[in-house]
Structure 1
Amino acid sequence: MRRIISMTFGGLTPSYYLRQLFFGSLFAALILGFAANSTAGLTGKPGLLLMAVVSTLLYPYSRFVYESVVGFIMGNNVFFVNALFMLSVKVFTMALCWSFAIFIAPAGLAYLYWHHSRSVSQ
């Protein structure tokens, strides 16, 4: 069991995981901050807190899937676009990856397990 966990959840480099965890934490802080400022506060929203924690922890794997798919489709092409447009697209895709991390991350975890189990057997 320990081997499976290390080949899936430990499959990303620590620097990549921590960088993506930082950005995922920003989304969680934003959502929880808005919820805390509402009339009821966070007291009646344990599901929101749980969703924020799970999405934040799975966000690096979700982002890994997104970047892998985009890298496969785009290849080594370079596009010159407006920086403000590119930044807004990046924030939008980050928000989507964070929001749907619970659905996207299992694909990344399965790929990391397959990739690391294949490299160990060779």
Structure 2
Amino acid sequence: MNPIIQKTLGGLSKEYYVRQFLFGLIFPAILYFISSQGTADGMPASLILLCIVNAFLYPYSRFVYESVVGYILGDTVLFGSIFVVAITKYITMSICWAAAIFIAPVGLVYLYFYHTKQDTNKQSQSDA
């Protein structure tokens, strides 16, 4: 496999990617349900294409969000009502999904440089 693709698209663990991908399927389902109400045509082809692209890029977008929040909060634990936490989680997920086409490239670039650095460190340790 091409090393660039391996370091970027293959940069997340399979478990993390599948989990986030499945959560990301909530939004195309909601859009499909909303668009099928009251119209005979359903979703336009451009919206279907955007849903497909965003669904596949959502895990990388979520990775960027979680990395930034993790960096800012560190090991801080926040407490709140389950309702507020659920609404906040839904809002952040929907923003990450809707903007995945713009946010995910940041994550892909980060993963490329991170895995390149890891490969360089492994190679320098094996040479020593």
What is the TM-score normalised by the length of structure 1?
Answer: 0.94
Task: Spell out, residue by residue over 1:59-95, the C-alpha distance to the aligned partner (whole angstroms, 9 max, x if none).
Answer: 0000000000000000100111111100100000000
Partner in structure 2 of residue 14 of structure 1: 14
Counterpart in 1 of 2:42?
Answer: 42
Partner of 2:124: none
- How big is the alpha-carbon RMSD for the aligned residues of Structure 1 and Structure 2? 1.2
1:33 aligns with 2:10: no
Deviating 4+ runs (over 6 angstroms) = none
Aligned ranges 1:1-122 → 2 under 5 Å: 2-42=2-42, 45-122=44-121
- Further displaced range: 64-73 or 26-35: 26-35
Q: Which runs of 5+ in 1 are unaligned?
A: none
Structure having the higher Rg: 2
- Whole-Å separation in 1 of the counterparts to 2:64 and 2:52: 19
Q: After superposition, what is the alpha-carbon deviation per residue over 1:31-64, rounded to whole angstroms, capped at 9, x for unaligned?
A: 1221122414326x10000000000100000000
Q: Structure 1 vs Structure 2: percent identity of aligned residues?
A: 45
TM-score scaled by structure 2?
Answer: 0.90
Q: For 2:23 and 2:36, locate their aligned partners in 1 and report how far apart those are by CA, in whole Å.
A: 20
Structure 1 match to 2:126: none
CA distance, structure 1, for counterparts of residue 5 and residue 40 of structure 2: 38
